[in-house]
Amino acid sequence: MQDKVVRANLTRMIREERLFDKRDHVLVAVSGGQDSLHVLRWLTDNSLPADIQPIVSAAYINHQLRTDADAEQALVERVFAQTPNLASKTIRQLTWDAVPTTGVEELAREKRYEALVAIAREVGANAIVTAHHKGDQVETILYKLARGSRLTQLLGMAKKQQLQGDIDLIRPVLQLDKAMLGQLVNEPLVEWVEDYTNADETFARNRMRHTVVPALEEINEQTKDHVIAFADQLAALQKLASGSINVHVKALEDGRLDWRVDESVLLLVLQTWLTKKHVFAVKDSQLTQAIQLMRNPNVNRGFIDLGNGLQLERFENYLLLSRKE
């Protein structure tokens, strides 16, 4: 696809989905990698139409977990110095009470976003922009499918979502292949850092990227497009079903839910109810236990431990979420 077509399609999508416009101030989350550097250059090289050109700031978070962290930070400092039209540029180093040895990716992500939200508020930005692309989206969907996530999580990442209060998270290039990001910029990148941990297949996401997705593409080279289409169809079905599911949720809250309906329906109802309460780390096996508890005609009181100090509690016809005493 020609560069001008890629840019025109992206511009149209930004307008149609109202991702950002000239009234917005976005903070670009920058690493030393090609993806975020392409997005930073695209947003600052005066190639966007004036009506959707936001104010742009940039931030780099040094996790201080990799041996090349200092070299990457030095590269980003050079990039920031050479990038025009930046309202502000921030480099922040994370500190750790103890360097994590397990769950490193998730812990780093959590601390990174906490820092980005803080920086966004400091500089007056109302949105954080990341460089997640189509490949990242496919990996996310397949990874969550493999882990047994909720149906709503199989929709993948949203192009725009509320991150925290007054700060949005925007992924404007989510529809583009990684190879297409270079088509957005007027001048090609001359330097970047390859994160060596991305090649480490002890991390599940890296195995997905380097082994699983290529194997699927050997079966069908359009695998990525088909996975995205699948997620889009799920999103459409969710919209159609949301009204009915919410009726069942209201019945659950009122203590009049018919627990004889199909278990798969009840799982969706319970997942939706718990999501409303901002409870996400619940296994289907725990929800199945709750369904069995509510279906048991011989008891009117019982508990299901959810962990993290939470429990599901049956009280007569009601299923309640409570804290363990």
Residue 165's pLDDT is: 87
Residues of the chain with CATH 3.40.50.620: 1-218
The one-letter amino acid code at 293 reads: L
Residue 263's pLDDT is: 94
Of the listed ranges 28-32, 196-200, 220-224, the one predicted with least confidence: 196-200
Annotation: binding site for ATP: 31-36
Condensed to tens digits (0 to 9), the pLDDT of residues 174-206 reads 999 999 999 999 999 989 988 887 888 888 888
Average of per-residue pLDDT across 16-33: 96
Handedness of CA 279, 284, 285, 287 (dihedral sign): positive
Residue 100 pLDDT more than 80?
Answer: no
CA torsion angle for 277, 281, 284, 289 (degrees, to 10)? -70
R_g of the chain, CA atoms, integer Å: 23
CATH class entry, domain 1-218: alpha beta
Condensed to tens digits (0 to 9), the pLDDT of residues 273-291 reads 998 888 887 888 999 999 9
Does domain 240-321 fall into CATH 1.20.59?
A: yes
pTM score, whole prediction: 0.83
Annotation: binding site: 31-36
